[in-house]
A and B are shown apart, each in its own frame.
Chain A
Amino acid sequence: MTKRTTRRVALRGLAMAVALGATTWIATPALAGKADDTLNIAWDRELPNIDVYFNNSREGILVNRMVWDTLIYRDPNTGEFKGLLAESFEIVNDTTFEFKLRKGVKFHNGDPFSAKDVVATVDFLLTPDTGKLAQQTIGWIKGAEALDDYTVRIYANNPTPLATLYLAGDIPIYPADHYAKVGPGGMGESPVGTGPYKVTKVVPGKEIVFEANADYFDGSPKGKPAIGTVHQRTIPDVNTQIVELTSGKLDWIWKVPADQAEKLATLPSLNVISAGTMRIGYLQFDAAGRSGENPFQDVRVRKAVSHAIDRQAIVDNIVRGASQVIDSACYPEQFGCTSDVVKYDYDVDKAKALLAEAGYPDGFRTEIYAYRNREYLEPMLGFLQQVGIETDLRYGKYAATRDAIRSNNVPFAFMTWGSGSVPDVDAITPVFFGGGPDDLAQDPEVQAALQKGGSTVDEAVRLEAYQTALGKIAAEAYWLPLWTYNTNYAMSQELDWTPTADEIPRFFFAKWK
């Protein structure tokens, strides 16, 4: 009898414990929008670490501009350089930059900003094996030197045409003492910068809360922020994002697919903007045969593919927005990007003839690697099928796909490149044709021309070199450049914010209507 009772008690206890577990989760839902001066935004990916030197995503760049400042600032609309943490700067010679720093600037934790922070940041960047990213944007630096508390020189290894661009975008200044103490991990958990917003809460991957920095220094071209709080959440599914936007729980989302953006634009409570970006899409062929024998080693096959895909139809019907078809292996408005190259129009007969000439009258079967935009990819696969090219799609995440390319496994890939928003050919073409691990063309002539263009600041020499390189790339059809990308932003009607062409949302310019 007693045994049975204990069992009964135990079962009841279990039931109660389960019930308690369920009721402990009670909190109040957050308010949204203009009413409480909180801008609720969402994006789809989890940010690895807010410390920008350990985080390369576009969302990371966005956060970087909000929380930290760079020495100089580049106006995203005019391209003009202005002082930011530096009041002024001077290019002493091809490899020396001198900055007069602003006085009275404070970090979010109260530390005053001075030359030692700049030097410490640069020293950190030059320390090997810290696991930091983006060698391209910092690899050119030789060192930094403080002339006095408010004067700093930064030296380059070689003449670097993009140095000012990198300084204006990718090299935010960290508080020397604080960073030495907490390191990248601590910086990621509670970031400290000088920027217009400070981070008051981070749940890694889930949410970030930004509060306006009331002490943000006067005279910053970023201006004092108008919106009190920016609350970011990670919502992976775009439908869920849209539902939350329409119900007012979000005020801003981006990367909305064109079809949904079109429908959202018809809703009176929302404002939808499509803006061009510096990202371009391209098909990459393994012309050098790095993945082993493959049909794309034959230039006629590469040309056939180029003729087989109706890029204009895809842009008109699917990509839409501000996108345009491109023919050159770069973003049209980048310095040095010429469109004076061989063009391949949509011509199925020509494509079939070229394939037959190359020995594939009935087409062939190939793997294709891709990592984003299935909606663009599918029609391309359809066009290829029309000329007899059957595809096995290997769809993965970016890192896995690029790793496959670099380890010689990929004959054919649909990829994109955003150039890190750097408006210069040097940020794109040399990466893929300069002889590095992503170079599937391995054309010494192209490599030489790109090398020449990247190691001088003489604009005429550079233009000529890039014309040579891009011309050869198109003539040999090493790539099929596809189109420029656009980003669709959907936001609440109450929000006054405009996108910029560099695809970096700047919420310090946003205000309520």
Chain B
Amino acid sequence: MSVMNTTVPSAEQILGPTPGQILRRKVFGHRGIVIGGGIFLFIVLMALLAPWLAPYDPYHQDLVARLAPPVWHEKGTWDHILGTDQVGRDYLSRLIYGARISLLIGIMAALISGIIGTVMGVAAGYFGGKVDLVVTFLITCRLSLPVILVSLAVVAIVGGSLEMVILVLGLLLWDRYAVVMRASTQQIRSLDYVAAAQAAGCSTWYILAREILPNVMNQLIVVATLEFAHAVLLEAALSFLGLGVQPPLPSWGLMISEGRNYILFDPWLIAIPGSALFMMLLAVNLLGDGVRDVTVPENRA
């Protein structure tokens, strides 16, 4: 057993100290959560309300009006507040619609990998023995495969598209969930009330759903925020190498990578989506950190 225990980073290495009791009342007093949550909510609203917020059709191109500068630039106008891109599409509209794609990638990838990782981790932690052995072995194998290289290779083979990117990232990013869930489940399983539930004859499913899952939820949320950020960053990297989301879909990662050719002379083309992506990831990280802080009080003692 101990052999297996040490081949992967432990939950502590990723999350800091093990969770203490849940302190929900701290949430609204926590600056990170309020700021992060605020920004994130704003972006989600932007994505949901895109058709009403966007001043133009994000796909409508006008080659003559291409590369118009944003309003604060000396040549900027209020027609296009954030200017236009390399084929004359309104940058603000694309940014607003792009929030949808980027959120979709982050959420779906975090969700898919979350399901895989949680199932594996909880199973390993709860059942132990051979199940644990197999899961830990799988985690070790997965960790020894370099994520970027593998996702590049896969996307290069099957072709880049939104669905493919989500799927590939979702299938690759489950390791952290599995590690953390396994450790937390092990911890909770040894607690008295689980033993009591078992003694009372509750079914395994009932225990997993009612006793284990609620108690690992906080950890799950923290990992989910990390993996959300991870997925969005990886999508941007894939787009940078030409293998991410394909045009004309507006994803922030794609906008950054298309803007990079203008970094020297028209830098706003990369700065605007770059800042948007940065704000979103910052918000998500602050949220994750906040949840961690609130649930692990001694960390901020």
Contact = CB atoms under 8 A, between A and B. Distances in A.
Contacts of B297: none
A378 B161 contact: no
A260 B59 contact: no
Contact of B248 (A263, A317, A385): A385
Interface string B230-263: 0000000000001100111000000000101111
Interface stretch (A91-99, A235-243, A297-305): A235-243
Interface stretch (A72-80, A214-222, A352-360, A388-396): A388-396
B247 A374 contact: yes
Contacts, number: 74
Contacts of B63: 310, 313-314, 316-318, 379
A393 B247 CA distance: 7
Contacts of A313: 63-64
A385 B265 CA distance: 30
B160 interface: yes
30 contacts: A239-B264, A242-B264, A243-B264, A257-B261, A259-B67, A259-B86, A259-B262, A260-B262, A260-B265, A263-B264, A313-B64, A314-B63, A317-B63, A317-B66, A318-B87, A374-B247, A375-B86, A377-B247, A378-B87, A378-B247, A379-B63, A379-B87, A381-B247, A382-B60, A382-B61, A383-B61, A391-B248, A392-B161, A393-B247, A395-B243
A383 B87 CA distance: 11
Contacts of B16: none
Contacts of A395: 159-160, 242-243, 246
Contacts of A396: 156, 159
Contacts of A382: 59-61, 87, 89, 248
Interface string A309-343: 01001101110000000000000000000000000
Contact of B263 (A239, A379, A394): A239
Interface string A226-240: 000000000000110
Interface in A250-280: 257, 259-260, 263
A182 to B, nearest CB: 34
Nearest to A239: B263
B253 to A, nearest CB: 14
Contacts of B156: 396, 400
Given A257-B261, A378-B87, A392 B246 contact: yes
A378 B265 contact: no
Nearest to B60: A382
B264 A378 contact: no
A396 B59 CA distance: 23
Interface in B242-301: 242-243, 246-248, 258, 260-266
* Most chain A CB atoms below 10 A, which of B61, B64, B89, B263: B61
Contact of A318 (B66, B161, B265): B66
* Most chain B CB atoms below 10 A, which of A377, A379, A383: A379
Contacts of B258: 374
Contacts of B87: 318, 378-379, 382
Return the 9 tightest CB-CB contacts between A and B, nearest first: A382-B61, A393-B246, A317-B63, A263-B265, A379-B87, A394-B159, A313-B63, A378-B247, A378-B87
A385 B59 contact: yes
Interface residues of A, number: 30
A240 to B, nearest CB: 10
A239 B248 contact: no
A314 B86 CA distance: 11
A143 B298 CA distance: 85
Interface size band for B? 20 to 34
Do most interface residues of chain B lie in helix, strand or loop, or is the interface mixed?
Answer: loop
Interface of A: 238-239, 242-243, 257, 259-260, 263, 310, 313-314, 316-318, 374-375, 377-379, 381-383, 385, 391-396, 400
A381 B254 CA distance: 16
Contacts of B265: 259-260, 263
* Most chain A CB atoms below 10 A, which of B64, B261, B263: B261
A379 B61 contact: yes
B290 to A, nearest CB: 35
Contacts of A260: 261-262, 264-265
Contacts of A385: 59, 248
A313 B62 CA distance: 10
Contacts of B59: 382, 385
A177 to B, nearest CB: 42
A235 B91 CA distance: 30
A381 B248 contact: yes
B103 to A, nearest CB: 21
Contacts of A400: 156
A243 B89 CA distance: 28
A242 B63 CA distance: 25
B261 A259 contact: yes
Nearest to B249: A393
A242 B263 CA distance: 11
B250 to A, nearest CB: 11
B62 to A, nearest CB: 9
A316 B62 CA distance: 13
Contacts of B66: 317-318
A274 B3 CA distance: 64
A378 B248 contact: yes
A406 B75 CA distance: 49
Contacts of A383: 61
A493 B63 CA distance: 32
B247 A239 contact: no
Given A375-B86, A379-B87, A393-B246, A239 B260 contact: yes
Contacts of B260: 239
Nearest to A313: B63
A379 B264 CA distance: 23
A374 B89 CA distance: 15
Nearest to B59: A385
Contacts of A377: 247
A310 B265 CA distance: 27
A245 to B, nearest CB: 11
A409 to B, nearest CB: 10
Nearest to B63: A317
Nearest to A368: B246
Contacts of A316: 63
Nearest to B160: A395
A317 B67 CA distance: 11
A317 B61 CA distance: 12
